[in-house]
Amino acid sequence: MTVQRRGNTKGPDANGIEKKIKRGNALRQASAWRGSRGPLLLLLGAAALCGAAGWLYVSSWDGEITETLVSRGELVTPKPRVYTVQCSEDYENYKRYPGCTPQRCGRAVTDSVVTREEAQALRRLAERGLALAGSEGGASILDLHSGALSMGKQFVNIYRYFGDQISEVFTQEDFQLYRDVRGRIQAVIAETFGLDPSLMYLTKPTFFSRINSTAAKTQHDEYWHPHIDKVTYGSFDYTSLLYLSDYGSDFTGGRFIFMDPNGNRTVEPRQGRVSFFSSGSENLHRVEKVTWGTRYAITVSFTCDPAHGISDPDLP
Ligand SMILES: O=C(O)CCC(=O)C(=O)O
Ligand SMILES: [Fe+2]
């Protein structure tokens, strides 16, 4: 995973402001016995207000949140909300697949592809699967394709580790729902970016994630680093995220952040919300640290290269 840490540009320091306020108080006391202090007080008040407003403005540039693309409370329906960005040159280093390779790049969010009930059923599936084990740190994954499940500081293969018992945890209906949802996400990505959906292939890793505020124990728990999916995962051309819980009520922190050169743009998770984007460096991103509660999501990824395609998961 590429880690690109951002410098923190601090606004004028609080000590400076405190000193100004103290100086203001001293001046006010000194003028108390001289009378006619009204205009001076007004001037000082206005200066303090301007200082505070300036500090707030500058501190909003410090690499933290600058714009919310979609908040938890709004409902993006029936059409996805689309933000176009210029494609990076990343795709030029790979074979081109007409009808699939990104020519239009960007990001989009929709709340009308997966219902909240479907997202709730998928969340239950994730809860059942992850209850079998889970990471000691704050981030656990369950990959139904490879069978990878976080356990302590490492991973096990659920299909090997739990054998036939796995059919007591997941049903055929669970896998059917997963396939349906995957198909609908593929269709909306194709429609939004003008692709032929039959030329897009599911690729790995495609996984459920469960994140809480427990301190990281290994690098696998460090989900918050800025990264580019195409660099991190190689085969990705389009990434989608299906959120299974709500920002603000199921968890705090945990917003998705696009890190653009001119500021950050966030998507607030909402149960059933699908966010998708082209996977190159035009969409550098990170997940804010979860500060309370539990955040569930699924990362569903697509490639244009049939050699990197995988089939839908199924019970063994
Ligand atoms: O869960 C999310 O919102 C983003 C996860 C992510 O960036 C990834 O899986 O590559
Ligand atoms: Fe990512």
Span from the CA of 287 to the centroid of ligand 1 (angstroms):
7
Judge if the beta carbon of residue 148 lies within 6 A of ligand 1. Answer: no
pLDDT at 49: 61
CB atoms inside a 10 Å sphere around CB 309: 15
d(CA 235, CA 232) in angstroms, rounded, equals 9
d(CA 162, CA 164) in angstroms, rounded, equals 6
Give the CB-side neighbour count of residue 232, counting CA atoms within 13 A.
Answer: 21
Judge if the beta carbon of residue 266 lies within 6 A of ligand 1. Answer: no
Encode pLDDT of 143-178 as tens digits: 999 999 999 999 999 999 999 889 989 999 999 999
Catalytic residue numbers?
Answer: 295
Judge if the beta carbon of residue 247 lies within 6 A of ligand 1. Answer: no
pLDDT at 314: 86
Flag whether pLDDT at 5 surpasses 80. no
Per-position DSSP letters for 109-143, written without gaps between them: EESSSS-HHHHHHHHHHHHHHHHT-EESSSEEEE-
Six-digit token string for 69: 């693309």
Buried b (16+ CB within 10 A) or exposed e, 53-80: eebeeeeeeeeeeeeebbebeeebeeeb
Span from the CA of 111 to the centroid of ligand 2 (angstroms):
20
List C-alpha distances in Å: 170 to 125, 179, 212. 7, 14, 23
Encode pLDDT of 210-267 as tens digits: 999 999 999 999 999 999 999 999 899 999 999 999 999 999 999 999 999 999 999 9
Among the bound ligands, the one closest to the CA of 223: 1
When pLDDT is cut at 50, 70 and 90, the band that residue 315 belongs to is confident
Residue 96 neighbours by CB under 8 Å, 6+ apart? none
Encode pLDDT of 68-127 as tens digits: 999 999 999 999 999 999 999 999 999 999 999 999 999 999 999 999 999 999 999 999
d(CA 114, CA 81) in angstroms, rounded, equals 15
Closest CA to 71 of 280, 256, 203: 256
Span from the CA of 258 to the centroid of ligand 2 (angstroms):
10
Q: How far apart are the first and last CA of the chain?
A: 31
Encode pLDDT of 12-68 as tens digits: 444 554 444 444 444 333 333 334 445 544 545 566 664 555 444 444 444 566 899
Angle at 166 between CA 164 and CA 168, to 5 degrees: 100
pLDDT at 64: 61
- For ligand 1, pick from 210, 241, 289 the residue to mutate: most ligand atoms within 8 Å of CB: 241
Length of the chain: 316
pLDDT at 111: 98
d(CA 222, CA 227) in angstroms, rounded, equals 12
Closest CA to 83 of 308, 283, 224: 283
Looking up tokens 């299974």 gives 244
Pairing verdict, β 251-253 and 134-135: unpaired
pTM, entire model: 0.81
CB 315 within 8 A of CB 175: yes
Six-digit token string for 4: 């690109």
Residue type, 241: L
Residues with CB under 5 A from ligand 2 (ion): 229
